[in-house]
Amino acid sequence: MARFGTDVASTNTGSVLNYEASEPAYAATLTAAPDAYTSYYTPAALTGALTLTVDATSAQKYDNLHCIFSGSGGARVVTFAGDAVVAGTLTAASAKQASITLVFDGTSYVEASRFVEP
């Protein structure tokens, strides 16, 4: 289903695009199932390693998933699984943040960029 169209009642200005934010408690395994044009996924401070499974069941082509992680008590490694195609693990140092942006290509969420706070 398209989020905008070309008929009289539609708009292509972005005003109908939807956004969501999710801030789950830390767990060793979490699942992100974005269903908006732009989704922000920011779990609580990581107190251990994390495996983040990305579920693209509700995704539409060119949807964005922005994840921000912060380490607590040591460097914390984030491993991606499911419908995510990334260039390896992401590590958030203690009291630092790391972020990654993924874009849905019609099949998978593909890494577009990442940043690790020095």
pTM score above 0.95: no
Ramachandran region, residue 56 (left: φ > 0; alpha: ψ -120 to 50; beta: rest): alpha
> How far is the C-alpha of 108 from the C-alpha of 91, rounded, in Å?
22
Q: Residue 94: inside a domain, yes or no?
A: yes
Q: How many domains does the chain have?
A: 1
Residue 101 within a domain: yes
Are the C-beta atoms of 42 and 22 separated by less than 8 Å?
yes
Q: Contact, 95 vs 72, CB < 8 A? A: yes
In terms of DSSP bridges, do strands 90-92 and 64-70 run parallel, antiparallel, or are they unpaired? unpaired
Closest CA to 102 of 88, 84, 80, 76: 84
- What confidence score (pLDDT) does residue 21 get? 96
Is 24 contained in some domain? yes
| pLDDT averaged per 10 residues, the chain (length 118) | 53 70 97 96 97 96 97 97 98 97 97 97
- Residue-level pLDDT at 17: 77
Range of the domain at 66: 19-116
